[in-house]
């Protein structure tokens, strides 16, 4: 399955928080932008596997 999803990454005092608004409850975090991006890709894949 292929498609496009929105990913939002926000920086705060503790690192980066990433979430996908189209997938309720699909969110993660990371110490760096790159780590947050890697983690949200994995979170999206795992989320899609469960639906």
33 within a domain of the structure (yes/no): yes
1 within a domain of the structure (yes/no): no
What percentage of the chain has pLDDT greater than the value 90? 92
Which DSSP category does 29 fall into? E
Structural domains counted in the chain? 1
* pLDDT in the model for residue 16: 98
34 within a domain of the structure (yes/no): yes
Taking the C-alpha atoms of residue 47 and residue 6, their distance in angstroms, rounded to an integer, is: 14
How large is the average pLDDT for residues 16-41? 98
CATH of the domain at 14: 3.30.160.250
CA distances 24 to 1, 32, 44, 51, Å, are 19, 23, 11, 12
- pLDDT above 90 for 44: yes
- pLDDT above 90 for 2: no
Q: What is the pTM of this model?
A: 0.91
Residue 44 belongs to domain spanning: 8-50
């Amino acid at each position: 399955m292929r498609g496009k999803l929105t990913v939002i990454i926000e920086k705060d005092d503790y690192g980066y928080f990433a979430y996908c608004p189209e997938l309720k409850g699909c969110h993660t975090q990371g110490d760096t932008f790159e780590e947050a991006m890697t983690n949200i890709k994995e979170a999206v894949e795992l989320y899609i596997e469960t639906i």
